[in-house]
Amino acid sequence: MDFLLVTSHICAIDISSAFFVVSGFFAAHTYANVPATDHADLRKLIAVYALIDVWLAGLLTLIVGSVFHLVRHSFRAVDVALTTLESVFCLRAFDVHQDSARWHFMNPSAWPVLCLFWATVLTPFRIQGNERLRRCHPHAGLVIQWVNACGPILIISLFALVHDNSNIFYMNALNVGYRVLEYNLGICVHTMMSACRARVPCVSVTVSLRRDDEF
């Protein structure tokens, strides 16, 4: 039974990580095919609808969760304060301990939406940063970008693996910072694919010109 439980948790974590990477890829693809003048309007539209959903869900969580914990005699004001704080700012960053005596968000299933909100809102800025990086380093820009996207994820995963009796994995798996890194990895993949597609015609033209010169 423990084996099945651990396996299900690992599968859920892997699927959620893949979800954020794929979301970053499709977000970058969407922004690449939308005129730059419409990026601000698109970002505002996404933010407004997401905020409305999160705030309504947070309000229902406070009502239903408070009643639930009062009935079970486990009500704590600190959990209400944390739920209110994270719901208002859509910032999943303060629930970092697995211990039941610590502060905990009263709606644990909302963490993907809270993490995806900031990842989506910050997408244009990360795309602009990646473009600036490639302009500053034309030859090594893609390599630096790839290391910047993969390095932090590998380091955090390594520390979580080595210190498996700590809260490192828990605090990062549900934290907006770690999920934004995975989201940025999807953006990096889209950037590298776009760069490869842009270079293929150049290579074809160069090869054809060389053949013409030979003849």
* Rounded Cα distance, 207 and 198, in Å: 15
The DSSP symbol for 39 reads H
- The stretch 78-88 carries a mean pLDDT of 86
Q: Is the pLDDT of residue 204 over 60?
A: no
Per-residue pLDDT of 141-158, as tens digits, reads 888 888 888 888 888 878
Residue 171 is encoded by which pair of tokens?
A: 């605090």
- pLDDT value at residue 214: 52
Mean pLDDT of all residues in the chain? 80
Residue % of the chain over a pLDDT of 70: 82
pTM for this structure?
0.79
Report CA torsion sign: 183, 189, 192, 196: negative
- The stretch 111-127 carries a mean pLDDT of 86
- pLDDT value at residue 25: 93
* Rounded Cα distance, 92 and 122, in Å: 15
